[in-house]
Amino acid sequence: MSTSLAIGLDERVSQLEDTARMVRINIIDMIHTAQSGHPGGALSAADFMTALYFDILDIRPEEPRWVDRDRLILSKGHACPVWYACLAMKGFFPMKELKTLRKFESILQGHPDMNKTPGVDMTTGSLGQGLSAAVGMALEGKMTGRDFSVFAVVGDGELNEGQIWEAAASAAMYELDNLVLIVDANRLQMDGHTCDVMNMEPIDAKFEAFNWEVHSLDGHDMRQVLTALEQAKRQKDGKPVCIIARTVKGKGVSFMEDVRVWHGKAPNDREYERAMKELKGE
């Protein structure tokens, strides 16, 4: 597992919190430069994505397709700035690439592209498809007896898609205990709050009914996030694990928090300055 085992939990948590702040800074920087993109759902996912990339995942930045690596699929592909920030900071590609987000011929497309971006394990962007692909990868891992884990991240609005539930049934049926699903439960989708558009609560009871092991937690409490991910990766009792990360859309930038329009809007110069001040704690 990670090199950080040598240090205590407190220190790991505090280091990851610092890293998550840098991830958020890079997200805002990238989207501001591109003047296009989806900040809200990238910021809500920043803490668990940081924990995954900087502690949990067994990966080799210098060998992105290493066969025994842990896999990650960001099924809510529009949130890819968080993925690109983690991958760049981890060394999968130079940091300067972040400035090319959404520009023509960039390795960083508007939605994740496994053929263009080192470290991206699956192409996504059409919501609802990533969990099925994760099931396929986990099945292959079982078939070949390799012990990598597959992590998939979906949005709470994305749970509306029927394919999610088709995948959920198959993951349990095939006893994929090498599969961990993280639901970024930030309570917002495009058209408003999830409870007003298409309510999927209780999410935990639904996954339990589909025979998954379910953990709900505060998705911005790094200690909870880290502990749950670590446990989920270790757990091998024939059940896929679903972590419901209760999060805030736009987390970390006060004027973006829980505000619908920041789903898919870039900050202007003034908003950018303000966001940066807050994130840097100035």
Ligand X SMILES: Cc1ncc(C[n+]2csc(CCOP(=O)(O)OP(=O)(O)O)c2C)c(N)n1
Binding site for ligand X (CB under 6 A): 40-41, 44, 76, 78-79, 125-128, 155-158, 184, 186, 188-190, 249, 263
Tokens matching residue 17? 């919190």
User: Residue from 178, 186, 224, 247 that binds Mg ion (CB under 5 A)?
Assistant: 186
Nearer Cβ to ligand X, position 157 or 240?
157
Contact pattern from residue 125 through residue 164 relative to other proteins, giving x for each residue in contact according to CB under 8 A and a dash for the rest: xxxx----------------------------xx-xxx--
Measured in whole angstroms, the distance separating CA 65 from the mean position of its chain's CA atoms is 19
User: Residue from 157, 240, 250, 252 that binds Mg ion (CB under 5 A)?
Assistant: 157
Name residues contacting other proteins, limited to 53-92 (CB under 8 A).
Answer: 77
> Which of these ranges, 54-62, 111-119, 129-137, 181-189, lies near Mg ion under the rule CB under 5 A?
181-189
Helix axes 9-34, 222-234, angle to 10 degrees: 100
Task: Give least dist CB 259 to other proteins, A.
Answer: 13
Residue 220 one-letter amino acid: H
Tokens matching residue 158? 């994305």
Q: Which helix (H) or strand (E) holds 48?
A: helix 46-51
Tokens matching residue 16? 């990851």
Strands 71-74 and 192-193, bridge-based pairing? unpaired
Task: Give least dist CB 124 to ligand X, A.
Answer: 9
Strand partners, 71: 150
Strand partners, 192: 189
Task: Give least dist CB 79 to ligand X, A.
Answer: 6
The residues near 14 (Cβ < 8 Å, ≥ 6 apart) are none
DSSP-derived secondary structure letter, 197: H
Q: Note the residues at the interface with Mg ion (CB under 5 A).
A: 155-157, 186, 188
Q: Note the residues at the interface with other proteins (CB under 8 A).
A: 34, 36-37, 77, 102-106, 109-111, 113, 123-128, 157-158, 160-162, 189-191, 197-198, 260
